[in-house]
Amino acid sequence: MMTGLRLNLSPLREPLGFIKVLEWLGAIFAFGSCGAYVGTNVVSLFCSEGKNETLSAPFSYPFRLNQVQLVSQNATLCNRTVAETHLMGDSSSSVQFYVAVGVLAFLYCMAALLIYLGYMHIYRDSDFGPIMDFLITVIFAFFWLVSSSAWARGLQSVKDAISTAGIRSTLALCSEEGVVCEVTDFAPMRSLNVSVVFGFLNMMIWAGNAWFAYKETRWHSQRYAAQQGAGRGPVPAPI
């Protein structure tokens, strides 16, 4: 048996290869839509005494908001001295887990496509390749579900922290009489929302692909052979 490279593009016309391309693209959109995000909310302070003030609340991946300075030390706002204030919350663990799953899925898809297109004769002649492919596909489907759920919750925490209500609860000055705090310019969050959608979409694609990966394993062939044998029934005895 030859074990060298045999380039064959026909697997791309089969569900096993075609879906792998979709998974590869889905992983790129998933981690790309949130991994490089940078945004800024503008907070306006309307003061009954003194001039109105404007603060910037910048935030970016990996969304460690508790390290973002909203007010510098001993700043004067609305004729009051305000202590150094940071935003509240830290969603870094959930988004970094999500991005890690996306990057690993991207790398695995590249490796799997290389095997499909160049070494399919080896892949289908052994039990190890199809079984490992099936198991890894199932694991990634589970990881996409967990990481997407975690990131969806983390993104909601980010939105709450940079909203008007979140800023008012963070900045003590906003609770004082004669001072009204309002977020007057919101950073676009479309790409972050899209990242969550792609996460759950990837979960469904990988879960669906698990069936086609399972069909390549000996478990499916043995079960199919057993069902075929049971369907034929017992051979009648000769008269």
pLDDT in tens, 62-82: 999 999 999 988 888 888 888
User: For the segment 118-132, what is each residue's pLDDT rounded down to a tens digit?
Assistant: 888 888 888 888 899
- Determine the Cα–Cα distance for residues 201 and 199; give it in Å rounded to an integer: 5
Domain for residue 1, yes or no?
no
CA 166 – CA 183 distance, rounded (Å): 10
Predicted confidence at residue 7, as pLDDT, reads 83
Residue 226 has pLDDT above 80, yes or no: no
pLDDT at 23: 96
Whether 90 is covered by a domain: the verdict is yes
Query: Does some domain include residue 167?
Result: yes
Q: pTM to 2 decimals?
A: 0.85
* pLDDT tops 60 at residue 231: no
Look up the domain containing 53 and give its range. Answer: 11-224
Lowest average pLDDT, out of 24-33, 83-92, 155-164, 228-237, goes to 228-237
Question: Where are the strands (E) in 15-123, listed by range?
Answer: 38-47, 53-60, 69-71, 75-77, 80-82, 85-86
- Answer whether 140's CB lies under 8 Å from 199's CB: no
Domain presence at residue 236: no
Provide mean pLDDT across the span 101-112: 96
* C-alpha to C-alpha distance for 53 and 178, rounded to whole angstroms: 13
How far apart are alpha carbons 208 and 230 in whole angstroms? 28
- 230 within some domain: no
How does residue 228 score in pLDDT terms, banded at 50, 70 and 90?
A: low
Length of the chain: 239
Helix (H) or strand (E) run with residue 163 in it: none
Pairwise CA distance, residues 33 & 193, whole Å: 9
Confirm whether 102 is domain-assigned: yes
Is 207 part of a structural domain of the chain?
yes
Q: How many domains does the chain contain in total?
A: 1
pLDDT tens column, 119-166: 888 888 888 888 999 999 999 999 999 999 999 999 999 999 999 999
Domain contains 105: yes
CB–CB of 66/89 below 8 Å? Answer: yes
